[in-house]
Amino acid sequence: MKKSHKSVIAVALAAALSVGVAACGSSDSSSGDGDTWRIGLEAPLSGDTANLGKGMLHGAELAADEINADGGVLGKQIEIVEIDDAGDPKTGVTAANAAISEGLDGVVGPYNSSVGLETLPLYTDAKVMPIRLTTDTGTEGYGITLQPMSTQIAPVIAKALTDFYGAKSVGILYDSTEAYTKETSSKVKQELEAKGVQVTDYVPIKPGKSNYTDTLKSIQAKSPDVIYSVVYFPEGAVMAKNLQALGFGGSSAKKCLFDYSTYDEGYVDDAGVDAAQTCDVAGVPAPSDFGGSSTYVSKFQDEFGESPNVWSPYTYDSLNILVDAAKQVGGFDYGQLSDYLGTVSGWKGWTGTVNIEAKTGNREPATVVITQVTSEGNFETSPAWAKAVGAPY
**Shared domain check, 140 and 55:** yes
The answer to whether 54 and 45 are in contact (CB under 8 A) is yes
Q: Which residue has the higher pLDDT, 6 or 295?
A: 295
Indicate the pLDDT class of residue 206, thresholds 50, 70 and 90. Answer: very high
**Shared domain check, 339 and 382:** no
Return the pLDDT at 30.
59
**Shared domain check, 100 and 58:** yes
The answer to whether 267 and 240 are in contact (CB under 8 A) is yes
Q: Do the domain assignments include residue 166?
A: yes
Return the pLDDT at 264.
87
Mean pLDDT of 355-378: 94
**Shared domain check, 122 and 159:** no
**Shared domain check, 182 and 245:** yes
Query: Which residues constitute the domain of residue 231?
Result: 150-283+369-389
Enumerate residues 6+ apart whose C-beta is below 8 A from 241: 271, 272, 275
Indicate the pLDDT class of residue 390, thresholds 50, 70 and 90. Answer: confident
Q: Do the domain assignments include residue 103?
A: yes
Read out DSSP for 125-149?
A: HTT--EEE---SGGGTTSSEESSPP
Q: How many domains does the chain have?
A: 2
**Shared domain check, 336 and 201:** no
**Shared domain check, 176 and 303:** no
Indicate the pLDDT class of residue 265, thresholds 50, 70 and 90. Answer: confident
Return the pLDDT at 21.
39
The answer to whether 163 and 156 are in contact (CB under 8 A) is no
Among residues 91, 8, 87, 9, the alpha carbon closest in space to that of 48 is found at: 87
Whole-structure pTM value? 0.83
Q: Which residue has the higher pLDDT, 365 or 89?
A: 89
Return the pLDDT at 388.
87
**Shared domain check, 246 and 136:** no
Which three-class secondary structure state does DSSP give residue 362? coil
Which of 28-32, 170-174, 214-218, 383-387 has the weakest average pLDDT? Answer: 28-32
Q: Do the domain assignments include residue 364?
A: no
**Shared domain check, 268 and 192:** yes
**Shared domain check, 237 and 138:** no
Q: Do the domain assignments include residue 359?
A: no
Indicate the pLDDT class of residue 115, thresholds 50, 70 and 90. Answer: very high
* CATH code, domain carrying 342: 3.40.50.2300
Mean pLDDT of 174-183: 93
Indicate the pLDDT class of residue 142, thresholds 50, 70 and 90. Answer: very high
Q: Do the domain assignments include residue 99?
A: yes
The answer to whether 354 and 252 are in contact (CB under 8 A) is no
Q: Do the domain assignments include residue 361?
A: no
Is the per-residue pLDDT at 4 higher than 90?
Answer: no
The answer to whether 179 and 138 are in contact (CB under 8 A) is yes
Return the pLDDT at 8.
47
Among residues 209, 147, 204, the alpha carbon closest in space to that of 181 is found at: 204
- Range 217-241 burial, b when 16+ CB lie within 10 A, else e: eebbeeebbbbbbbbbbbbbbbbbb
pLDDT, one tens digit per residue, over 24-38 is 333 355 555 579 999
48, with CB counted inside 10 A (0-12, 13-18, 19+), is middle
Q: Do the domain assignments include residue 360?
A: no
278 to 64, 173, 348: CA distances (angstroms): 38, 17, 35
Is the per-residue pLDDT at 5 higher than 60?
Answer: no
Per-residue DSSP letter, 35: S
**Shared domain check, 298 and 166:** no
Q: Do the domain assignments include residue 176?
A: yes
